[in-house]
Amino acid sequence: MSKRRHNHLTVILTAIPEEFGAIAKYLHAKKQINFWHGFPCIEGMLFDHHVVASITGMGKVSAAITCQKLISDYMPNAIIITGAAGALASDLTVGDIVVSRDCIQHDVDIRTFGYPRGTIAVTMEEAMIWRIFLADETLKNLALSTKINKHTIREGRILTGDQFLTTTHRADYHYLIEELKGDAVDMEGAAVAQTCYANKVPFLIIRTISDKANDTATHDFKKVKTTITDNSLKVIQTVLCGY
């Protein structure tokens, strides 16, 4: 017997503890959930909207299993994943926000079977070939309407892989821009997107640019955590209040 989807419950996923802590701080009527894999998880009212928030941990597998567990337990009406990303597009700078138009897993490669890079073949039947995961239009447009001071907010393509990229990797990953046309790169987004696609749950990725995927990427990421948290809360508020 299938569960009924919660019409007014949104799952919010973060990869870093600071962002989760900021969301928890703003929650009302909150209760801690003893989540199955040890990551903190909390339920409550955020900007008068029923939410469940959790940390995914870094990487695609961690993000996917966290997402699936929360979908199975709560059947939410939408899932939002927030956090940091490295810039690929030249017009993006640290502090800017990219809202996902779509996303691709850049480190999946079955080109030997004749499929373009990023293709995920559940089976070799065309009906089960996934590659580009489209974000929910309503969620995306609401997010883009957020008023952000000092920085820009725009839609773009998020590329996801299990690597934190720096200039050292650039020669090996030139295809991220040239072939896949990515605007930003993260480690969780498209894995959550695939999980949402499989469960028919609307999703949106909100990424603050924490670095330029260059030699200072690790240092920049550490410095910009407050900006990431502030940006995420602003965009989440706009989305929840309008959805």
Residues catalogued as catalytic = 18, 211
Name every residue whose Cβ is closer than 8 Å to that of residue 213 and which is 6 or more positions away in sequence: 86, 87, 88, 165, 166, 167, 169, 170, 185
Beta-bridge mates of residue 28: 45
Q: What is the H or E stretch that residue 186 is in? A: strand 184-186
| Exposed/middle/buried for residue 184 (C-beta within 10 Å: 0-12, 13-18, 19+) | buried
Query: What is d(CA 180, CA 85) in angstroms, rounded to the nearest whole number?
Result: 16
Q: What is the H or E stretch that residue 165 is in? A: none
Residue type, 26: Y
Q: What is the H or E stretch that residue 139 is in? A: helix 137-144
Name every residue whose Cβ is closer than 8 Å to that of residue 142 and which is 6 or more positions away in sequence: 238, 239, 242, 243
Closest CA to 18 of 224, 237, 190, 206: 224
Residue type, 154: R
CB 136 within 8 A of CB 202: yes
Q: What is the H or E stretch that residue 55 is in? A: strand 49-55
